[in-house]
């Protein structure tokens, strides 16, 4: 807790430098602007609002729950041309084809997931699973992710996420090693489930949230099911309800940490789909990552620069310290305490 040391990440086969004493250094660097508190509930100029006109001229329906539509500015398109061949081993290119979807969580722009009801969060989870199943029938990888807050590159103040689908995939096929040990992800899953006390944040009957031993971002967390599950669409009805609950509890703690709408990037990792649906993917374990950038306050973030970009990842407090702070926070949202 007081001296620097390195920790190994078996999922990525790399190391993170833990330098907890650095959080004590005085800060005279950049201060971020806290997110606005006066976001209008409905804005005709907001392209994600019900009834608004998007950049391509399409008008959104008057949706009342979740709403999924093709991304108007996709990173992947299904009909992209081949990049051409190269005989030079250092200048290779390959085709990248897919589709990108946007999913609005709620018709109101002034709501985020921790302020939504459990039923509304459950509807988001169902929509995630439907997207994963529908698009995973054709594509090898379905990446569902959410960027929350302008600090994380979110270009629109409306509760939403994205799903990108790749037609090609570099599969992680790490089977058991020569000693019969389980693959890295399943091994970590088992250890986190059995002994999470120092790094546990919240838990319930079906899920637990821990700060990984090898976490890179200051308040990074890992969301894990208690049983072995390969994909989102494999979740039981009861597990979807309990997932809504534990997500709400975690995100309320995030917001309560600095009493702001806490920025983060999150995403789900599950077994590959498409042609891999018929293969044995038992070495995969469904899980979600949360990567929040804030370190000291609502205005001071962790910057991944210099040493982190050129040498290795480095964090400024131990995962155990981060977990203890998150764990001790109340589970009533700071905006709702007076009520």
Backbone angles phi, psi at 101, to 5 degrees: -120, 155
Is there a binding annotation on residue 300?
A: no
Q: What is the gyration radius of the CA atoms in the chain, in angstroms?
A: 21
- Nearest CA to 158 out of 66, 58, 268, 292 is that of 66
Q: Can you tell me the distance from the alpha carbon of 57 to that of 260, in angstroms, rounded to the nearest whole number?
A: 34
Is there a binding annotation on residue 291?
A: no
Q: Can you tell me the distance from the alpha carbon of 331 to that of 45, in angstroms, rounded to the nearest whole number?
A: 34
Q: Can you tell me the distance from the alpha carbon of 213 to that of 189, in angstroms, rounded to the nearest whole number?
A: 12
Q: Check: CB of residue 89 under 8 Å from CB of residue 99.
A: no
Is there a binding annotation on residue 55?
A: yes
Is there a binding annotation on residue 72?
A: yes
Is there a binding annotation on residue 3?
A: no
Q: Which of 160, 228, 283, 333 is catalytic?
A: 160
Backbone angles phi, psi at 276, to 5 degrees: -90, -5
Is there a binding annotation on residue 308?
A: yes
The yes-or-no answer on residue 333 being catalytic is no
Is there a binding annotation on residue 323?
A: no
Is there a binding annotation on residue 20?
A: no
Is there a binding annotation on residue 262?
A: no
Helical spans, DSSP H, in 168-294: 184-194, 237-258
Residues within the annotated binding site for Fe cation? 176, 269, 287, 289
Residues within the annotated binding site? 22-25, 55, 71-72, 147, 153-155, 162, 176, 269, 287, 289, 302-303, 307-308, 314
Residues within the annotated binding site for UDP-alpha-D-glucose? 22-25, 55, 71-72, 147, 153-155, 162, 302-303, 307-308, 314
Residues serving a catalytic function are 160
């Amino acid at each position: 807790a007081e001296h620097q040391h390195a920790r190994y990440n078996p999922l990525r086969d790399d190391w993170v430098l833990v330098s907890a004493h650095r959080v004590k250094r005085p800060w005279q660097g950049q201060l971020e602007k806290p997110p606005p508190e006066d976001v209008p509930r409905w804005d005709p100029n907001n392209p994600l609002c019900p009834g608004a006109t998007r950049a391509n001229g399409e008008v959104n329906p008057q949706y009342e729950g979740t709403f999924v539509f093709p991304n108007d500015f996709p990173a992947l398109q299904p009909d992209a041309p081949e990049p051409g061949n190269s005989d030079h081993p250092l200048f290779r290119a390959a085709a990248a084809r897919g589709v990108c979807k946007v999913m609005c969580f709620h018709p109101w722009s002034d709501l985020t997931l921790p302020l939504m009801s459990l039923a509304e969060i459950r509807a988001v989870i169902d929509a995630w699973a439907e997207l994963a199943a529908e698009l995973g029938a054709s594509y090898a990888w379905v990446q569902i992710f959410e960027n929350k807050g302008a600090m994380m590159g979110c270009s629109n103040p409306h509760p939403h996420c994205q799903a990108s689908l790749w037609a090609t995939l570099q599969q992680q096929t790490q089977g058991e090693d020569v000693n019969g040990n389980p693959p890295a992800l399943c091994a970590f899953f088992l250890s986190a489930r059995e002994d999470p006390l120092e790094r546990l944040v919240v838990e319930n009957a079906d899920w637990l949230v821990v700060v990984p031993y090898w976490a890179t971002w200051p308040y990074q967390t890992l969301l894990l099911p208690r049983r072995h599950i390969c994909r989102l669409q494999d979740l039981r009805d009861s597990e979807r309800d309990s997932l809504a609950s534990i997500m709400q509890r975690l995100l309320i703690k995030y917001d309560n940490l600095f009493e702001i709408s806490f920025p983060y990037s999150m995403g789900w990792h599950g077994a590959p789909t498409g042609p891999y649906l018929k293969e044995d993917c038992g070495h995969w374990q469904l899980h979600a990552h949360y990567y929040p950038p804030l370190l000291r306050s609502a205005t001071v973030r962790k910057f991944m620069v210099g040493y982190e970009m050129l040498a290795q990842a480095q964090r400024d407090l131990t995962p155990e310290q981060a977990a203890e702070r998150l764990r001790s926070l109340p589970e009533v949202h700071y905006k709702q305490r007076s009520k």
